[in-house]
Structure 1
């Protein structure tokens, strides 16, 4: 298996405030796990994504569950941050 960790720091432009953020997410399955965390501190947004994929051989019957797990992860990577002018 493998682990992939992404850490992102976004500095808010002057005169803008946060109107919306993606919700944090924790998913666990037999295929692996995913954690997404978001923190706001001093006009900066910190995003952490941690994906762990288990090594294994899975049956064709498990394909739908695997795709569901991957869609949940992909949906979080595509989350939107909404800013508005003060």
Structure 2
């Protein structure tokens, strides 16, 4: 994975290759524009992942639950549920 920067006019010329590299190799492309109105191209898969992360960390309650789960994992204090048990939740 690499991050590259290019101008808007260069991005237009190479858009297909830039977008293929973003998807195929996980690259990020910063397109520089006048007045520092830059944009970043990332893959849809990465965008969805970021959205999910933002959602999970979006509330204090979620952050506390995730922290507690990580502590339980570190202490091997885990509970395993069957599919049927999980479905009841």
More strand by share: 1
Shorter-chain TM-score: what band?
A: under 0.3
More helix by share: 2
Q: Please, what TM-score do these two structures have when normalized by structure 1?
A: 0.22
Q: Which has the higher contact order (CA 8 A, sep 6+)?
A: 1
Q: Please, what TM-score do these two structures have when normalized by structure 2?
A: 0.22
Larger radius of gyration between Structure 1 and Structure 2: 2
